[in-house]
Structure formats: C-alpha cells, structure tokens
C-alpha cells in the first residue's frame, strides 16, 4: 500500500446504497456511462459526493456533472427517466462553475412527487472516466448524505 492513497466518494443522500447493476435501467445497470453505485433516497436533499467544480447542471435539473479536485468526472443523476419532467420537482442550489465541497447541497427534490408521477427514485453516482481509476470498491449499505463513503478508489 506504500505510495497508494485511497480516496472516497460520499453518499449524495440519506438512504440505502446499492450496486449499480441493481438499478432497473440498462444505461446504468450495464455501466454504459461508467461505474459507480446508486442511492435509494429517504430524503429530498441531494449533496455533492466530492470536493470539486460543478461542470454542468442539466437543463432539466435532474442531473449534475462534477469534476472532483483529483480529476474524476462524476455524474449525479436524480431518479430514472426524470429528464421527462423537464425540471419539475427539482430545485437546484448550484450552477455550472460553482466550487463545491463534499456535503454541499446540489439540489432539493421532492421524492414523493417523483413517485406520484411514476418515476423510480434511484440516484446513480457514476464515475464517467472510470478508466482513470486504479482501484474501485463500492460500499453498499445504509448511508448518510455527505458523511458515508459509498466508493473507495485510487487514481492511476
């Protein structure tokens, strides 16, 4: 382990962290965008999983792209197929270019509203430049937003 520093990605929400291949959406389950985990949230606040810069807040407010301070590209995608809501039910608290610390609020959403509209509330946290990772270890289980590690990794 000499010379290798393991880092962590924190949970975006309170709830349960599951393996990405358990998400009922092939884009995530088959890791087409990269590898990661997903949180099944129990609250409405979505926090940054890392220190970094917000690269993009999607026009439909359901997804956030963050570049971590060590160069990872991380996608936080709130709900499945929620792009169809065109921003309804999402209240962003950051904009592109904002610097964030792990645990800073990215967005507030109404998970009950999402459920009522028929959407799954899984929040995938995906490293889209996974080829830059030397080691990757998902950590499933009960999680707290901005506190519990959901992924341990090291950079090549």
So which residues are the catalytic ones?
77
> What residues contact residue 88 under an 8 Å CB cut-off, 6+ apart?
113
Residue 27 phi/psi, 5° resolution?
Answer: -60, -40
Spell out where 44-132 has E strands: 45-47, 52-57, 63-68, 73-77, 90-92, 99-100, 105-109, 123-127
Contacts (Cβ under 8 Å, ≥6 apart) of 116: none
């Amino acid at each position: 382990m000499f010379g290798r520093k393991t880092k962590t990605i924190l949970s975006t929400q309170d709830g349960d962290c599951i393996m990405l291949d358990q998400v009922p959406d092939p884009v995530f389950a088959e890791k087409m965008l990269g590898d990661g985990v997903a949180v099944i949230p129990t609250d409405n606040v979505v926090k940054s999983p890392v220190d970094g810069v917000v690269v993009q807040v999607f026009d439909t407010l359901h997804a956030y792209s963050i570049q971590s301070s060590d160069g990872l590209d991380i996608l936080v995608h709130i709900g499945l197929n929620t792009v169809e809501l065109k921003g309804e039910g999402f209240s962003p608290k950051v904009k592109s270019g904002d610097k964030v610390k792990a645990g800073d609020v990215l967005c507030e959403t109404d998970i009950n509203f999402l459920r009522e509209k028929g959407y799954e509330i899984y929040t995938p946290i995906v490293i889209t430049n996974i080829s830059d990772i030397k080691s990757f270890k998902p950590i499933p289980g009960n999680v707290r937003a901005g506190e519990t590690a959901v992924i341990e990794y090291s950079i090549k």
